[in-house]
Structure 1
Amino acid sequence: MSHRTMDWLMLLGCVSLWAGLTLAEVGSFSGCTEYFYQGAEPRGFATANTAEICQRYNNRYHFATLYDRPNRIPRWSAYTLGNAACSGQPRKRSQWFVEPQLAHPDESPEMTTEADSTLTLDERRSSQAINEDYEDPSYDRGHLNPNTFQCNDSRMATFTLTNAAPMDPCFNRIHWYKLEKTLKTQLTMRCRSVGGTPYLVTGAVPSDREKSPIEGEDKKGDRNRPYNRVSVPSHIWTAVCCDHRDNNRKFSFAFIGENQEASSLQIIPVEQLNAELSRLYKTSAPVEVFADDFGSESQKGQEVLSAIKKALYNSFQNLLTDPYSQLVKRRKLDRATTQGMTSKNLDQNNVQLTRFLMDISSLADGHSQFEKTYEQDDLAPAVARVARASGTSDPVCPFDELNFGVTSTGWSCVKETSCACQGYKYSWCYTSDKNDWDYCCTEECTVNPESKRYECPRGDGSTTQCSPHGYSMQTISGTACQSDHPCGLYGKRYFWCYTDDKKKWDYCCSPQHYCGNHGYGYQWCYIQDPEKSWQYCTP
């Protein structure tokens, strides 16, 4: 791969729907050409087994999807950037929709929940992904058209399984999350707000059906999943173009990343992405995401790319210094990192964006690169512990930046709120569409030596009970928690989690205890702090 192809590599270590009416039309893009640059759909992706879907909600089209029936994931979704300022928008939904018309073309185009569908389970499974395919906590249900890029009805329309693909949790929650957040800000400021129209196409490359892209081991199917039906993409990509009547304001570029925990992100011109996708999809015809590759070398495009690179690099630096509250004492790590970055033994020339990051394949490697310097300044212990922790096999990404969207007891914030004071003296956020709310931690969640319980400050001088976010993804029976619902308190006195989409739940061991004999002839652990209730368990 040339240096141009590897224009820039970025290390990254490491969604549930409204119960209203959603419609989609299968078989033609004639009703949704407004979501294609110059009205031209991406070329070179279609096969005899793909379905063209104009995603329609409340009698209006919101985006377009080319759906891969055999792999049961979208090959791409094409969309435009919605209004940046929309309030009252939920972040997650408890149900996703399926599309019966993919199984039977004569079925109604209305999307429906599986519970309300008239199709049998086998019929629902026949040509699309269904909710049970995402019960494996090893993967997230990742949007292609991001729900955060849209508002109101357009946001609701993104919560369909024809717009989702299995994504590695660390890739999705850190890698792709930071990219989408930064991209939205830049496109809003540098394209939409100055009269341009941002067109985007996000795609998923089906993995080799004989090889798991996550495990890298030969399997009968493409991933270690219950039904071995839905392809885990090997790569996720996005092509961006800003169309503007002023040619000097036009620009385009593309991103492509590997769908795995230790992933590299390439930022390349659109025409270069076309060539790369032709190779990855093994297409017989040339791939053309946009009708042309306008603005790929424009000054405006380079300015936008520079801003995105800077924001992502700052995010990477934050990964080294901030989200370790459950791994080591934050103050000690911050002090160690600050001293390390000012060390006389640190070569500042090696901490440049391209040179430093191109040599790192995981967060553990990143810390290893600093470790020699830290040893020279007697700072190794804290950093070494973090490096070891980042290499564990725990399916929870230990560097989850979404903690600001999680309450003290573990609930995810919704309705476009995040943990903040929001007019009150304490930090809080909404946790449901019914205005349920919970306190948030303003500092790390630690054990109170007197009460022996996990507690944290809430911002008003008082403390609240809390649970370390993502400390475990396994219940006392050995069952995996839902990927977006790790073990926690969730308003109870004991630790627990949901284990499927049907609200089935189970106890978890306390983060201060573990499953073992503990002097008895059976396996057990405490499920409540401080060492109160207990349950039999499976190690």
Structure 2
Amino acid sequence: MDWRVLLSCVSLWAGLALAEVGTFDLCRSSFYRQTEPHGFDRTSDDSAQICQKYRGTHFFATLYDKSNRIPLWSAYKLDHGRTKGPPRPNDWFVEPQLWDPNQSREMTSEDGSTLNELRSSQAINEDYQYSSYDRGHLNPFSFQSGVGRIATMTLTNAVPMDPCFNRIRWYKLEKNLKEQLTMNCIGKKGTPYLVTGAVPSGSEKIPIQDEEEEEEEEEEEGEDPQKYNRVSVPSHIWTAVCCNHVDDKHKFSFAFLAENKEESRFQMLQVDELISKLSGLYPNSPSINIFTDDCNSKSKRGQEILSEIRSALYHSFRVFLSDQYSQLLSPRKRSWLDKETSQLMESTNLDQNKLQLTNIGFLMTFPSLADWSSYFEKTYDQDNLACVLEPSAGANPGGVAEGSGSRDRFCIPQQPRSDVSATGWSCVGQVCGHHEGTPYSWCYTSDTKWGYCCLDKCTVNKQSNQYECSQLSGYPMKCSPLYSMVTISGEACRVDHPCGLYGESYFWCYMDYGKGWDYCCSPRHYCGEHGYDYQWCYTADPQRSWQKCTLHAPTQKGGAQCLPPKFQDISDLRY
């Protein structure tokens, strides 16, 4: 059965959930050390504290933003009980107390007679009816057991999520997180406390999907069609995790931050790092705190578990593609993907604290080109992994918000490519191989010729100080690493022509199909001042020829970035 059908098949369960609005006093057991997160409130008129209650029991706590009509966060504990409870209701509950404190303390199904009052302070089911967004849980349905699952089915615990993000990426994160916490926290007699939040985007709201239908309703009933354009679509979703334990050796915490979009990037962080990022995402919130003492965020055990989750996520995305889209992946490509995954996980040089999970790959961040250069040398020489620098101006491909002032560099670890010749020209219509019975590896290239291909890694010969690789019986020949998509002037290289030697003694690339070209910094150097009052870099190996460079020019939004080529046969795949 199609997974989308499975996710959308729910059964209606009629019942009531109760809630306490206005104070967290009755649900402090949902918080680590009985202390709620703070720094997210704007004014008392805009936010409401809700103790989510069902059948006389408080299950979790929510801070609700009435102006944006979404929860800012929900705090809860992982319930590892085995009972599944009633089936999921088809409609979500609402909270009448948000618009009138004198209303009953029961969270109920919508009442048509009070819809206008409900709209004034919260989302209702109608808001999602014609939208393309999922009602995404903050406190996950699957993290609770028994009737506690029904208590999560309230719109005060839901935000608009991109369906691909919610059903694939966030779902897989929750699944792997639950497994790890069950084994490494509950299994060690610890208590897992979690806080999941959403960052209101401000201007982006659930749009009106059927304008003609809404205009007809307005004419017939005198209603405002904009009543459905009211619920903020979050820009980011985040989760902070704390495993509390009497023994500090088993106490740990970590966090996740992700963009609410189809091709989302996961950032896996320490709690203090998440707080720093959230302080820049939430307006006027410089004093955010989630766990009262960050819950031992620097613990080695927390980083080990985070690494295990990262590896499991990478594997699950790979399996998803192999299983669901096997018709697009040849056995050779699946084998290549397996090899890349294994090689990445075995690297001892990659700082896993800087890794972010992208589509089905990992992205690393660096504060400067100097840091990137150091990592490039280690991973290229020792792990046979490389990354490709790319300018971020204009398209902003690295996901850095324009005007954010961020100068991080981004890097995707990747293996050397088999679809380029030794000198760097792209193969055309084939990959490197022993074609036509030749004893040497070659391919036809985009240079309208054929070229030899390397039989092994393209490395620096210590005697000649130049890049060389083997062809036949270890016979050396000159070769070129492909490492950058940006020239010394900060211009982007042509998509099919990254920086390389291409038979010359210096590094360069074409910038367009009119043969316009420019120098590139050497892969063993980088654009910087290097003791002078201007920026420069070597453009040849050994280091002799040099040029001034402008990679740090103010027009580069977010600085230079390291991004991967898309996976070849699935470059346009969306799921």
User: Under a length normalisation based on structure 1, what TM-score does the superposition of the two structures give?
Assistant: 0.59
Change (3 A) 1:225 1:76: farther
Task: State the one-letter code of the partner of 2:15.
Answer: G
**1:153, CA displacement in angstroms?**
1.7
**1:191, CA displacement in angstroms?**
0.7
Change (3 A) 1:291 1:67: same
Q: Decide which of 57, 62, 67 is 1:65's aligned counterpart.
A: 62
Q: 3-state DSSP class of the match of 1:321?
A: helix
Change (3 A) 1:384 1:264: closer
1:376 aligns to 2:372 (yes or no): no
Which aligned pairs between 1:181-260 and structure 2 lie closer than 5 A? 181-209=175-203, 211=204, 227-260=228-261
Q: Decide which of 51, 54, 57 is 2:51's aligned counterpart.
A: 54
Paired position in structure 2 for 1:23 = 18
Paired position in structure 2 for 1:280 = 281
Q: 3-state DSSP class of the match of 2:136?
A: strand
Paired position in structure 1 for 2:267 = 266
Change (3 A) 1:368 1:294: closer
Aligned equivalents of 2:430, 2:256: Cα separation in 1? 37
1:78 aligns to 2:75 (yes or no): yes
Paired position in structure 1 for 2:127 = 133
1:3-26 deviation line (CA, Å, top 9, x unaligned):
xxxxxxxxxxxx776311210111
Aligned equivalents of 2:413, 2:570: Cα separation in 1? 11
**1:350, CA displacement in angstroms?**
7.0
Aligned equivalents of 1:178, 1:169: Cα separation in 2? 13
Paired position in structure 2 for 1:94 = 90
Task: Check whether the contact 2:206–2:229 (CA below 8 A) recurs between aligned residues.
Answer: no
Aligned equivalents of 1:213, 1:111: Cα separation in 2? 24
Paired position in structure 1 for 2:316 = 315
Task: State the one-letter code of the partner of 2:151.
Answer: A
**1:338, CA displacement in angstroms?**
3.4
Q: Decide which of 44, 54, 59 is 2:39's aligned counterpart.
A: 44
**1:88, CA displacement in angstroms?**
5.5
Aligned equivalents of 1:285, 1:247: Cα separation in 2? 29
Task: State the one-letter code of the partner of 2:108.
Answer: T
Aligned equivalents of 1:377, 1:227: Cα separation in 2? 56
Paired position in structure 1 for 2:480 = none
**1:201, CA displacement in angstroms?**
0.3
Task: State the one-letter code of the partner of 1:74.
Answer: P
Aligned equivalents of 1:84, 1:371: Cα separation in 2? 50
**1:235, CA displacement in angstroms?**
0.4
Task: Check whether the contact 2:89–2:150 (CA below 8 A) recurs between aligned residues.
Answer: no
Paired position in structure 2 for 1:335 = 331
**1:118, CA displacement in angstroms?**
6.3
Task: Check whether the contact 1:96–1:131 (CA below 8 A) recurs between aligned residues.
Answer: yes
Task: Check whether the contact 1:204–1:235 (CA below 8 A) recurs between aligned residues.
Answer: yes
Aligned equivalents of 2:92, 2:417: Cα separation in 1? 44
Change (3 A) 1:295 1:213: farther
1:418-460 deviation line (CA, Å, top 9, x unaligned):
xxxxxxxxxxxxxxxxxxxxxxxxxxxxxxxxxxxxxxxxxxx
Task: Check whether the contact 2:344–2:413 (CA below 8 A) recurs between aligned residues.
Answer: no
Task: Check whether the contact 2:258–2:267 (CA below 8 A) recurs between aligned residues.
Answer: yes
Aligned equivalents of 1:50, 1:27: Cα separation in 2? 9
Task: Check whether the contact 2:127–2:206 (CA below 8 A) recurs between aligned residues.
Answer: no
Aligned equivalents of 1:203, 1:234: Cα separation in 2? 11
Q: 3-state DSSP class of the match of 2:147?
A: helix
Aligned equivalents of 2:149, 2:198: Cα separation in 1? 20
1:113 aligns to 2:93 (yes or no): no
Aligned equivalents of 2:240, 2:67: Cα separation in 1? 24
Paired position in structure 1 for 2:542 = none
Q: 3-state DSSP class of the match of 2:171?
A: helix
Task: Check whether the contact 1:322–1:334 (CA below 8 A) recurs between aligned residues.
Answer: no
Aligned equivalents of 1:41, 1:250: Cα separation in 2? 19
Q: Decide which of 132, 136, 152 is 1:142's aligned counterpart.
A: 136
Paired position in structure 1 for 2:27 = 32
Paired position in structure 2 for 1:357 = 362
Q: 3-state DSSP class of the match of 1:152?
A: coil
Change (3 A) 1:230 1:337: same
Task: Check whether the contact 1:84–1:188 (CA below 8 A) recurs between aligned residues.
Answer: no
- Bigger drift between 250-259 and 348-357 goes to 348-357
Q: 3-state DSSP class of the match of 1:376?
A: coil
**1:192, CA displacement in angstroms?**
1.0
Q: 3-state DSSP class of the match of 1:207?
A: coil
1:210-250 deviation line (CA, Å, top 9, x unaligned):
x5799xxxxxxxxx998210000000000000110111110
Unpaired runs of at least 5, structure 2: 1-7, 208-224, 364-386, 389-396, 399-411, 421-428, 434-566
Task: State the one-letter code of the partner of 2:258.
Answer: G
Task: State the one-letter code of the partner of 2:188.
Answer: V
Identical-residue share of aligned pairs (%):
50
Aligned equivalents of 1:46, 1:347: Cα separation in 2? 42
Q: 3-state DSSP class of the match of 1:138?
A: coil
Aligned equivalents of 1:65, 1:305: Cα separation in 2? 26
Aligned equivalents of 1:370, 1:93: Cα separation in 2? 50
Task: Check whether the contact 1:168–1:261 (CA below 8 A) recurs between aligned residues.
Answer: yes
Aligned equivalents of 2:55, 2:133: Cα separation in 1? 30
Aligned equivalents of 1:368, 1:303: Cα separation in 2? 25
Q: 3-state DSSP class of the match of 2:48?
A: strand
Paired position in structure 1 for 2:306 = 305
Change (3 A) 1:24 1:389: same
1:29-61 deviation line (CA, Å, top 9, x unaligned):
000000011111101011221000000000110
Aligned equivalents of 2:419, 2:82: Cα separation in 1? 46
Aligned equivalents of 2:249, 2:164: Cα separation in 1? 37
Aligned length: 351
Task: Check whether the contact 2:192–2:241 (CA below 8 A) recurs between aligned residues.
Answer: yes
Q: Higher relative contact order at CA 8 Å, sep ≥6: structure 1 or structure 2?
A: 1
Aligned equivalents of 1:135, 1:262: Cα separation in 2? 24
Task: Check whether the contact 1:89–1:151 (CA below 8 A) recurs between aligned residues.
Answer: no
**1:263, CA displacement in angstroms?**
1.0
Change (3 A) 1:341 1:20: closer
Aligned equivalents of 1:154, 1:317: Cα separation in 2? 33
**1:84, CA displacement in angstroms?**
4.7
Task: State the one-letter code of the partner of 1:271.
Answer: D
Aligned equivalents of 2:256, 2:83: Cα separation in 1? 26
Task: Check whether the contact 1:133–1:225 (CA below 8 A) recurs between aligned residues.
Answer: no
Aligned equivalents of 2:124, 2:413: Cα separation in 1? 38
Aligned equivalents of 1:118, 1:212: Cα separation in 2? 23
**1:347, CA displacement in angstroms?**
11
Change (3 A) 1:45 1:88: closer
Change (3 A) 1:348 1:299: closer
Aligned equivalents of 1:177, 1:50: Cα separation in 2? 28
Paired position in structure 2 for 1:155 = 149
- Bigger drift between 282-291 and 51-60 goes to 282-291
**1:385, CA displacement in angstroms?**
5.8
Change (3 A) 1:376 1:35: same
Change (3 A) 1:207 1:247: same
Aligned equivalents of 2:184, 2:286: Cα separation in 1? 34
